[in-house]
Chains A and B, each alone.
Chain A
Amino acid sequence: MEQIIISILKRTLIAGTPLLLGTVGEVITQRGGIMNLGIEGMMAVGAVSGFIVTFTTGNPWLGMFASIVMGALISLVHGFVSITLKANQVVSGLALTMLGLGISGLWGKPYIGKPLEMKMSAVKIPVLGDIPLVGDILFNQDPYFYISVFLGIAAWFFLFNTRGGIAVRTVGENPRAAETQGVNASVVQYLCVMTGGAFSGLAGSHLSIAYSKSWIEGMTAGRGWIVVALTIFAMWDPRKAFAGAYIFGGIFVLQYLLQPLGISPNFLGMLPYLTTLAVLFIYGISKEGHRKMNAPAHLGEPYIRGER
């Protein structure tokens, strides 16, 4: 029994890792006022580029690095269209999703069905890893887990306890106010979009070089859209993203475990989306709730400099 619980919790954290990475990245992007719905596409690009580089070099760390770079690069499509050309961010994000899924399919075609020889395997942290129960769950994971936890905390610290974080949040709330304080809103937004892209790319390569160790077309399987939901669920706060990612990750794990008990995996599959709608609904009822939601005031709207 104990083994089962340990296993479930461990797999929950693993399943939650790409969700956490993607969500933290999208939180940063949206805090800067840009809504990027293209996470699914960026994840796919990250997954395939991470896989290809790992496969050819035999070094998963290089693969991880490649996924970060490619994620950031592909996000520039959205950045250029929505920041410089001030186009509709919803449509641009959808375009990025299609583009990313398409490119990943095209690039990954020759690698389908080829397993990785070198993969990102679990690293047991000395001493801490020997703590009973907790040690095995928290300190005997693959490096992605540690990195994602670190990045999540770092993102929270950055957003709320540094001057750069204030600049990002100000741009997302009131870009004109930021400009009058000498902050270049467009540059900040580009950086936010690219950070989001890098995080999504990283999340994608977790799937291909640590989680399943192979490339399958469409392996992101809707995680990018869960991230969109999680960003709202977390109310644009990286701390709450931890809770959300692991809860939703846990649902993934339980989907198939609970099936024999007569609980439909599809019903569990709906839960992330239903809970997000519920959160929106509960906070949407009152004005006070809208304020508590803390949605960036300028989210999704293009900022046109000098317009009065």
Chain B
Amino acid sequence: MHRIKTLEMRGISKSFHGFYANKNINLKIKSGEVLGLLGENGAGKTTLMNILYGLYKPDDGEILINDKSVRIKSPKDSMGSGIGMIHQHFMLVQNHSVAENIALGFQDVPFFFPKKYIREKILRISRQYGMEVDPDKKIWQLSAGEQQKVEILKALFLEADLLIMDEPTSVLTPQESDDLFEIIRRMTEEGHSIILISHKLDEIMSICNRVTVLRKGETVGEALVSDIDKKELARMMVGRDVFLTFDKKPMPQGDKVLEVNNLVVLGDRGNKAVNNLNFSVYRNEVFGIAGVSGNGQRELVEAITGLRKSHSGSIMLEDDTITNESARVVNTRGITHVPEERIKFGIVPNLFIYENAILKKHHSSPFSRLLFLDYDLIKEHTTNIVEKFNIAAPSINVPVKSLSGGNIQKLIIGREIESKPALLVASHPTYGLDIGATEYIRKQILNRREEGGGVLLVSEDLEELFEICDRIAVIFKGEFMGVLSAGDSSIKDIGLMMTGSLRLDSENNCRTDNKDNGADK
């Protein structure tokens, strides 16, 4: 018996300390349906779903189940109403077994010896939906796909009729994604409904019945998937047509600054996160790396910037080997780094702006003389950066955390390109920023290119990559599926390459990149 025949969210608004994450959003779903919730990063998808799941309280609006208004104040309420959620980052306890993880929220489990009771049921339900999971395995022994199955089981145990899935395929291999879609199909056949949060058009087109599109916290469109095409959806999502073409003046390629040969880097789990990469970056060039995050981008960047040891292969900066040098040495040699998750890695929130403006440079002259720091010079330097990069700050004597995200990123980029590095490595530099700041950051990266620096840009944002890159390598599972440059006929297939379904052969690359002498295998 299904408790949720229809569910509707009406006029939902939510702000965090004065900043709107959701504004008057409407959404509707009925039994047996898969609703796609589409939008860019930061469009408010996750906030909306956290409201539906009772993790956040909306400022305004109501939720109706079977046309009756319900109050959802906590996950307990939502679970009671038949709503389940699978978070993007799994809510699992790594050190506990599958059975223990499932038993926690399941009210029908007896108080004593819960695992014994639940083991049987796990095997039964998992067979019903075609998921094989060993109830006694610890979570840390499972692959990402298996962990997701545990999350789905958790929801099914609670008899969730409506399942929210927050970017479920972002951590999965293509095979695992297919399995997931098969599970979703079986579930909808049984009358479950699913809200699928995604920013991947293919996924939405292949599995959803209807789609709701969010942009900047507001609903911008709603349609049956059968009535709409990808192009239309993409336009709704980003607000204008996406032109996948390289659109800036080409520059003559300069000298080689970075050369990566047969590089293998291990991930945190000991897997080959970067598998035998070969490529070079030249002066006057922005070399982009496209791909769904989690395909080795982080490990590659960390290896180049000295934050992670390489397993084998070599990294050369101009003519020096920098393989496995420390972050400090790499930085001194001329590689600077705009890290992903800027607040977590790039700044020290409680220190003053001027103290953050010399992070990494603090140990060398002119800021450091003998063992002392020259604070007058540091402040002068900071004032220069603040002025030059249009950073809106009340003063340089405030903690950097009081700046907005865009200004923090401007400070970081200013800090990293002020020294005119031979190579700038930038990871997701505009993620989560508003349009103004985004444009500004991109312009600064292009300036660096025109001044003669090399840039390695890692991004998930295709629009950004095509706007500022000279060449784009597509990474999938630690390997390049191909390197694209202007006029390449394969540009249109970049989506296929990102999902690992198309791999260009080396011939293809040599044709567009003669100077590289086939280094891009």
Q: Which residues of A contact B (CB under 8 A)?
A: 161-164, 166-167, 169-170, 173-174, 176-183, 291, 294, 297, 306
Q: Is B244 an interface residue (CB 8 A)?
A: no
Contacting B96 at CB < 8 Å: which of A163, A170, A179, A182? A170
9 closest residue pairs by CB, A with B: A181-B105, A182-B76, A177-B91, A173-B93, A180-B91, A163-B114, A181-B104, A182-B75, A174-B93
Within 8 A of A (CB), among B124-144: 140
Q: How far is the CA of A65 from the CA of B228 in the complex (A)?
A: 72
Contacting B114 at CB < 8 Å: which of A162, A173, A174, A306? A162
CB distance from B472 to the nearest CB of A (A): 30
Q: Is B55 an interface residue (CB 8 A)?
A: yes
Q: Is B315 an interface residue (CB 8 A)?
A: no
Q: How far is the CA of A306 from the CA of B17 in the complex (A)?
A: 13
* B residues in contact with A173, CB < 8 Å: 93-96
Q: Is B201 an interface residue (CB 8 A)?
A: no
Q: In chain A, what residue has the closest Cβ to B113?
A: A161
Q: How far is the CA of A121 from the CA of B92 in the complex (A)?
A: 48
| Known A173-B95, A173-B96; contact A162-B104, beta-carbon cutoff 8 A | no
Q: In chain A, what residue has the closest Cβ to B105?
A: A181
| Known A179-B75, A180-B75; contact A166-B92, beta-carbon cutoff 8 A | no
* B residues in contact with A161, CB < 8 Å: 112-115
* A residues in contact with B79, CB < 8 Å: 181-182
Q: How far is the CA of A306 from the CA of B55 in the complex (A)?
A: 7
Q: How far is the CA of A169 from the CA of B91 in the complex (A)?
A: 14
Q: How far is the CA of A180 from the CA of B75 in the complex (A)?
A: 6
Are B111 and A164 interface neighbours, CB within 8 A?
Answer: yes
Q: Is B109 an interface residue (CB 8 A)?
A: yes
* A residues in contact with B74, CB < 8 Å: 182
Are B93 and A177 interface neighbours, CB within 8 A?
Answer: yes
Q: How far is the CA of A179 from the CA of B56 in the complex (A)?
A: 12
Q: Is B272 an interface residue (CB 8 A)?
A: no
Q: Is B85 an interface residue (CB 8 A)?
A: yes
Contacting A183 at CB < 8 Å: which of B94, B100, B105, B154? B105
A173-B96, A179-B55, A180-B91 given; 10 more Cβ-contact pairs under 8 Å: A162-B111, A162-B114, A163-B110, A163-B111, A170-B100, A177-B104, A178-B104, A182-B75, A182-B76, A306-B56
CB distance from A272 to the nearest CB of B (A): 27
* A residues in contact with B154, CB < 8 Å: 181
Would you give the 0/1 interface string for B78-114, flagging 1 where the beta carbon is closer than 8 Å to chain A?
A: 0100000101000111111000110111000111111
CB distance from A67 to the nearest CB of B (A): 28
- For the A-B complex, the count of residue pairs with Cβ-Cβ distances under 8 Å equals 74
* B residues in contact with A297, CB < 8 Å: 93-95
* B residues in contact with A180, CB < 8 Å: 53, 55, 75, 85, 87, 91, 105
Of A163, A164, A291, most B-chain CB atoms within 10 Å: A163
Are B112 and A174 interface neighbours, CB within 8 A?
Answer: no
| Known A180-B75, A180-B87, A183-B104; contact A162-B112, beta-carbon cutoff 8 A | yes
Within 8 A of A (CB), among B381-417: none
* B residues in contact with A166, CB < 8 Å: 96, 100, 103-104, 114
CB distance from A286 to the nearest CB of B (A): 14
* A residues in contact with B114, CB < 8 Å: 161-163, 166
| Known A166-B104, A181-B75; contact A174-B92, beta-carbon cutoff 8 A | yes
Q: In chain A, what residue has the closest Cβ to B84?
A: A180
14 contacts between A and B (CB under 8 A): A161-B112, A162-B111, A162-B112, A163-B114, A166-B103, A166-B114, A169-B100, A173-B96, A178-B104, A181-B104, A181-B154, A182-B75, A183-B104, A297-B94
Are A177 and B92 interface neighbours, CB within 8 A?
Answer: yes
Q: How far is the CA of A173 from the CA of B94 in the complex (A)?
A: 8
* B residues in contact with A170, CB < 8 Å: 93, 96, 100-101, 104
CB distance from B388 to the nearest CB of A (A): 33
* B residues in contact with A162, CB < 8 Å: 111-114
CB distance from B170 to the nearest CB of A (A): 16
* A residues in contact with B113, CB < 8 Å: 161-162
Contacting B95 at CB < 8 Å: which of A164, A176, A178, A294? A294
CB distance from B59 to the nearest CB of A (A): 14
CB distance from B21 to the nearest CB of A (A): 11
* A residues in contact with B104, CB < 8 Å: 163, 166-167, 170, 177-178, 181, 183
Q: In chain A, what residue has the closest Cβ to B117?
A: A163
Q: How far is the CA of A169 from the CA of B93 in the complex (A)?
A: 9
Q: In chain B, what residue has the closest Cβ to A305?
A: B55
* B residues in contact with A291, CB < 8 Å: 95, 140
Q: How far is the CA of A297 from the CA of B95 in the complex (A)?
A: 9
Q: How far is the CA of A176 from the CA of B92 in the complex (A)?
A: 9
CB distance from A66 to the nearest CB of B (A): 30
CB distance from B155 to the nearest CB of A (A): 10
Q: In chain A, what residue has the closest Cβ to B16?
A: A306
Q: In chain B, what residue has the closest Cβ to A178?
A: B104
Q: In chain A, what residue has the closest Cβ to B80?
A: A182
* A residues in contact with B55, CB < 8 Å: 179-180, 306
* B residues in contact with A169, CB < 8 Å: 93, 96, 100
* B residues in contact with A294, CB < 8 Å: 95
Within 8 A of A (CB), among B303-347: none
Within 8 A of A (CB), among B196-237: none
